[in-house]
């Protein structure tokens, strides 16, 4: 059998094992569910407010954006942090020491994180469908749209997270790099319609995948009439697929080269140096 195929199969098994371990770890489950749970509490308190010009609950309108935020946090930030921590403790170096070990490692990491991210969407969505009125979870078209938007969103987020994790030697560096993404939350229509923001800010938001992921999820879960609150009074499915697909293609094209370069630079001395720095930070 092709060695690469063996590595991919081993990575897929590793990803499934990691996913099962994470789902039985209260700390991991809390990490995945904390942000959507906190956001839903806030949105529940705002359920009496309405989207401007409509009678639709502002809390219900924000739920798809909250789910999109969770995809980005778990698909981008968590992958970057995990990769940086595995570099710091030598896990990645050990994977590199085995034939096609880096390939298996990356497949496993992507598989486990993708499964966790999907769980981080479906579990809060089940709770939101019970707590909030107006979510269209009973239509087959809603689930079809949810599936392709979520798939493209993961493809757009995961490679960027891997690139960020490759560029920094420790989790602190990745955390600092994520601060701009947190700022994007305020302008990407997650908690409030982006049409209420100045037009230049709307253009900035549309450059990044978070806005389009939220828009795609809103098109899946909100009534068709709520498209009137969006730019162009439309769900813009073609544009959503185009922008998320572009980010996915660019990320998938760049990530392997960046990861290979990072793997070549890994050595026992570099791992030891990072461990020493970590010890010094804790003293």
At 163-209, the pLDDT tens digits run 887 777 777 777 677 777 777 888 888 877 888 888 898 999 999 99
228 vs 181: which has the higher pLDDT: 228
Task: Summarize the confidence of residues 264-281 as an average pLDDT.
Answer: 60
278 vs 145: which has the higher pLDDT: 145
**Model confidence at 20: pLDDT above 80:** yes
Task: Summarize the confidence of residues 247-263 as an average pLDDT.
Answer: 82
Do 110 and 102 contact (CB within 8 A), yes or no? no
**Model confidence at 260: pLDDT above 80:** no
% of the chain surpassing 70 pLDDT: 88
% of the chain surpassing 90 pLDDT: 17
At 133-149, the pLDDT tens digits run 888 888 899 999 999 99
At 4-19, the pLDDT tens digits run 777 778 878 888 888 8
**pTM of the full structure:** 0.85
Q: What is the 3-state secondary structure (H, E, C) of the chain?
A: CCHHHHHHHHHHHHHHHHHHHHHCCHHHHHHHHHHHHHHHHHHHHCCCCECCCCCCEHHHHHHHHHHHHHHHHHHHHHHHHHHHHHHHHCHHHHHHCCCCHHHHHHHHHHHHHHHHHHHHHHHHHHHHHHHCCCCCCCCHHHHHHHHHHHHHHHHHHHHHHHHHHHHCCCHHHHHHHCHHHHHHCCCCCCCCCHHHCCHHHHHHHCCCHHHHHHHHHHHHHCCHHHHHHCHHHCCCHHHHHHHHHHHHHHHHHHHHHHHHHHHHHCCHHHHHHHHHHHHHHHC
At 110-134, the pLDDT tens digits run 888 888 888 888 888 988 888 888 8
Helix axes 101-131, 26-45, angle to 10 degrees: 30
Identify the pLDDT of residue 151. 93
185: nearest Cα among 217, 209, 155, 150? 209
Quote the number of domains for the chain: 1
Identify the pLDDT of residue 219. 93
Averaging pLDDT over each range in 153-167, 206-220, 251-265, which range is the top one? 206-220
Task: Summarize the confidence of residues 25-37 as an average pLDDT.
Answer: 82
**pLDDT tier at 278 (50, 70, 90 boundaries)?**
low
Print the domain residue range for 205: 3-282
């Amino acid at each position: 059998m092709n060695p690469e195929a063996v590595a991919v199969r081993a990575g897929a098994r590793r990803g499934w094992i990691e996913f099962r371990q994470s789902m039985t770890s209260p700390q991991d489950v809390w990490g995945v569910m904390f942000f959507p749970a906190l956001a839903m509490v806030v949105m529940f308190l705002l359920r009496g407010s309405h989207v401007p010009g409509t009678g639709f609950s502002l809390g219900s309108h924000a739920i798809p954006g909250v789910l999109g935020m969770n995809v980005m946090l778990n698909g981008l930030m968590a992958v970057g942090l995990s990769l940086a921590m595995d570099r710091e403790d030598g896990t990645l170096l050990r994977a590199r020491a085995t034939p096609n070990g880096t390939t298996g490692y990356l497949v496993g990491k992507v598989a486990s994180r993708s499964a966790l991210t999907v769980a981080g969407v479906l579990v809060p969505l089940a709770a939101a469908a019970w707590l909030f009125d107006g979510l269209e979870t009973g239509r087959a078209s809603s689930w079809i749209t949810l599936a392709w938007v979520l798939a493209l969103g993961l493809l757009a987020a995961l490679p960027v997270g891997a690139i960020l994790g490759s560029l920094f030697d420790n989790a602190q560096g990745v955390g600092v790099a994520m601060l701009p993404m947190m700022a994007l939350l305020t302008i990407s229509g997650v908690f409030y319609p982006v049409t209420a923001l100045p037009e230049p800010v709307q253009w900035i938001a549309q450059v990044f995948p978070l806005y389009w992921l939220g828009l795609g999820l809103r098109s899946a879960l909100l009534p068709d009439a709520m498209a009137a609150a969006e730019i162009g009074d439309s769900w813009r499915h073609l544009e959503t697929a185009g922008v998320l697909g572009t980010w996915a293609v660019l990320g998938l094209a760049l990530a392997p080269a960046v990861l290979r370069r990072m793997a070549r630079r890994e050595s026992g001395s570099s791992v030891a140096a990072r461990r020493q720095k970590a010890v010094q930070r804790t003293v």
